[in-house]
Amino acid sequence: MVHTVCHIITKLELGGAQHNTLYTVSHLDRARFRSILITGESGLLDHDARTLPGVEFHQVPSLVRDIRPLADLCALLALTLLLRRLKPAIVHTHSSKAGILGRMAAWLAGVPVVIHSIHGFGFTRYQSAAVRRALIALECLAARVTTRCFAVSEANRQLGVELGLFPENRCAVIRSGVDVAAIRRLEVDTTAKKRELGLEPGRPVVGMVAPMKPQKAPLDFVRVAAKVFGKKPEAQFLFVGDGELREAMENEIARLGLAKTFRLAGWRRDVPAIMRCLDVFVLTSLWEGLPRVYLEALAGGVPVVGTRVDGAAEVVRDGVNGYLLAPGDINGMAERVLSLLGNPTLAADMGRRGQALPAEFDIHDMVRRQEQEYEQLLAEMKA
């Protein structure tokens, strides 16, 4: 019997949760599962979703990332009506807004199995206490109609248990994976790629890949770059991504005198190839689930300097395949970057150790684990 599985995500931008959702819906075993994908406001990956073979695609424009009570109510109604028409056996939600509204709509539509993937929580310590309490309350409400949760990190799973969102046995850790073998096989003309990116082939490159939004603290990367450049002027810096903080980044780059050595590449689809051009990968995030981009860097043999947030330590082993520091520790991150740039042997050793990623971080394993969970939950529903 073929079961219909409907994935719901708020926005298809260039991010780890979005890439892995697209991969999942297009790689589920078609002999057992029929894939449907629902998304909300327009994103850069909408065309990719519409052209996925064998995947039915729907868009609910009122489903937006920002909190907008009227639009949110419209989205809840639209999702409920759509799910009643589609009649899936499983609804699987991703991201905070789609996670709340999608699960409630699935419950209202009478969907038998409701699953939510935690790619990091929508509430953080950087929000006001009132906002944080309200978001946790909404998560608690949605959790009451959730059959099972998947967390990309053990840190997120433990936090959910501590907050009473679910008992331990109702949440499994299923990593956000990458195609490890494909990344390792990738052959890149790094000289040509660097020139394409506006970089000089003979100089070391420090890079970051992320949306330009507050969560990722991209201005911290600019400040790390300034510290590194002050002691190693041959270094050059690359930021891949775009977003609301672009103007602020441009202003900070100019203020710190980095205009000639700092490149803003915008959104790119060739991140694994770009990783091969980097000597050090940096991520300055304030919070995360478990960044998929860490996996892309490590699988490509690039040592990481990042922030010790949420599930980061579950893949970046401090002093083994990279370094982790507290969010906002500009001096500490700059010192670690300088240490790696000044010791190519150490950097190469860390890069090689990073390539030895466990199987649980492979995207094929991610899909297999989800299929196994689907089958088990459906069987339990019939019992």
Residue 383 has pLDDT above 80, yes or no: no
Domains of the chain (ranges; CATH) run 3-177+362-382 (3.40.50.2000), 180-358 (3.40.50.2000)
Helix (H, G, I), strand (E, B) or coil at 237: strand
Residue 381 has pLDDT above 90, yes or no: no
Task: Report d(CA 141, CA 145) in Å as an integer.
Answer: 7
The backbone torsions φ and ψ at residue 258, rounded to the nearest 5 degrees and listed phi first, read: -105, 5
Residue 92 has pLDDT above 90, yes or no: yes
Question: Span 189-201, mean pLDDT?
Answer: 97
pLDDT at 14 (0 to 100)? 87
pLDDT 10s digits, 69-91: 999 999 999 999 999 999 999 99
Which amino acid is present at 304? V
pLDDT 10s digits, 273-313: 999 999 999 999 999 888 899 999 999 999 999 999 989 99
What is the reported pTM? 0.94
Average per-residue pLDDT in the chain?
A: 96
Residues, the chain, total?
383
What burial class does residue 244 get, using C-beta atoms within 10 Å of its C-beta: 0-12 exposed, 13-18 middle, 19+ buried? exposed
pLDDT at 289 (0 to 100)? 87
Helix (H, G, I), strand (E, B) or coil at 123: coil
pLDDT at 15 (0 to 100)? 87
